Homo-oligomer: A and B are copies of this chain.
Amino acid sequence: MTTTPFDPAGLLPAGRVITDSGRLASFAHDEAAGAPFGLPSAVVQPRDTAEVAAVVAYCAERGVPVVARGAGTGLSGGANAVDGCVVVSFAAMDHILRIDPDERLAVVQPGVVNDWLRAACADKGLWYPPDPASAPWSTIGGNVATNAGGVCCVKYGVTRDYVLGLEAVTGRGEVVRLGRQTAKSSAGFELAGLLVGSEGTLGLVTEITLRLRGERAQEHTVVGYFDDLPSAGRAVAHVVASGVVPSALELVDRYCLRAVDEWKNMGLTDGGNVLLLARCDAPGAAGVEEADTVLACFEAAGAAWSARSGDPAEADALFAARRLVYPALERQGMVLSEDICVPRTQVPEMLARLERTAERHDVHIAGLAHAGDGNLHPMLVVPRGDERELARGREVFEEVVDQAIELGGTVTGEHGVGLLKMRGLTRELSPAVLDLHRGIKQVWDPAGILNPGKVFAA
């Protein structure tokens, strides 16, 4: 690839092309701790698909890398700039184009914030389930790029499960419409699903058609405190074996609880060392039965304290506390966040291995997990600017990734590969499968300009 200077004059109105180096820096990376990034030569803020296509075509001709960017809340470095690239920010493409209650679908631009969409759907008695912790800030385009998950995904699936159709701009600058607006289709290859989770390496998504659900039934919350991780792990295994599929099953360990307490003084650590938060939402009496079953599972695993929460406000406060874990830990230093996912029956074993790994390396690994679907977010806090500790943390997590793969797991449950999981991906996927990735990339982006150097090596 030959990189020639980028002169965007005339491509978009001047106000929507940023080349000021001071401002460029704020578009250089996402929230992945310690992932490398370069400096873009320009940031463009298109308002429609035609502008996106014009930018990509211009860059394809000149061999200029193009990095798509939503809200920059990613945790893998997928939106990190490559030196000299053009960052396409979707902040100005933030319209909800349609919410159709009868077809139960929404059509949105990629810059729509997840929570805005959820609120707009709720106004019409509809529900868009994927609820990443970043939902107040992250965009649907970013969620599509990483195939984002969230708390309710244990029962309701991830972003890909809700994408019916996409409009996208390929690396040639061509606009393509993929997928469907119907309930089902067997017409050709599932290219919309292929783009979901492709992290901007195959195309830039410019419009998204999403499947919606009807309004959610009432949720019943079950809270359990446990003395240690093994007993909390047993509780998770009991719930899995019970046949109940909760609409949330979250684990928060003592390091996480303490970090939130030190910040917000919520008294979370008073209850015990490990908190399990479950929700059940089967309609009517069935939901209450489900909650009772989960409570019995907690008790059978030796919960220090457990109860069905009768107070929705209290239950919401506990889930809000769970969302505060990451920012609370960030107050202590740079947070390395893992995203392994193991088969759900392996959660107790993976928790045990995490404890042994932490001991062996003499570090604290904070434990936060979507325990019900096996997606664990172990976190390491390292002093900001301490490159040696950062490197050591990364090595600890490479071990953790190997353990997850050994248990039949995957290197990323919902954050995406970006830059941080590239090494892990080469251990999860065979060389032949990685070759298929490269071949498919070549088809969509023959000039190799779309988010180069991410996910897999060219």
Residues of A bordering B, CB below 8 Å: 101-103, 125, 146-149, 153-154, 157-158, 160-161, 170, 174-178, 180-191, 193-194, 196-198, 202, 214-215, 217, 237, 240-241, 243, 245, 282-286, 339, 341-345, 373-375, 408-417, 421, 424-425, 428-430, 432-434, 436-437, 439-440, 442-444, 455-456
Contacts and interface: CB of A to CB of B under 8 A. Distances in A.
Contacts of A170: 432, 436
A57 to B, nearest CB: 13
A190 B182 contact: no
A290 B421 CA distance: 46
Q: Chain B CB within 10 Å — which of A101, A153, A190, A345 has the most?
A: A190
A181 B243 CA distance: 18
Contacts of A434: 188
15 contacts: A103-B344, A146-B186, A147-B186, A149-B184, A176-B430, A177-B433, A184-B375, A184-B413, A186-B339, A186-B415, A186-B416, A187-B428, A188-B197, A188-B455, A190-B197
Given A125-B243, A436-B176, A182 B425 contact: no
A341 B374 contact: no
Nearest to A172: B432
Nearest to A76: B186
Contact of A189 (B153, B198, B339, B373): B198
> Interface of chain A, helix or strand or loop or mixed?
loop
Contact of A284 (B174, B190, B283, B339): B283
Contacts of A444: 436, 439
A24 B444 CA distance: 40
B285 A421 contact: no
Contacts of A439: 442-444
A138 B245 CA distance: 30
Contact of A186 (B286, B417, B436): B417
A214 B283 contact: no
Contacts of A410: 180, 182, 185, 187
Total copies of the chain: 2
Given A153-B184, A188-B429, A283-B286, A194 B193 contact: yes
B437 A188 contact: yes
A245 B153 CA distance: 20
Contacts of A286: 217, 283-284, 286
A215 B242 CA distance: 12
Contacts of A198: 189
Given A103-B344, A158-B184, A186-B412, 17 more contacts: A181-B408, A182-B341, A182-B343, A182-B413, A183-B341, A186-B415, A187-B411, A187-B417, A187-B429, A188-B425, A188-B437, A189-B198, A190-B190, A190-B193, A190-B194, A190-B197, A214-B243
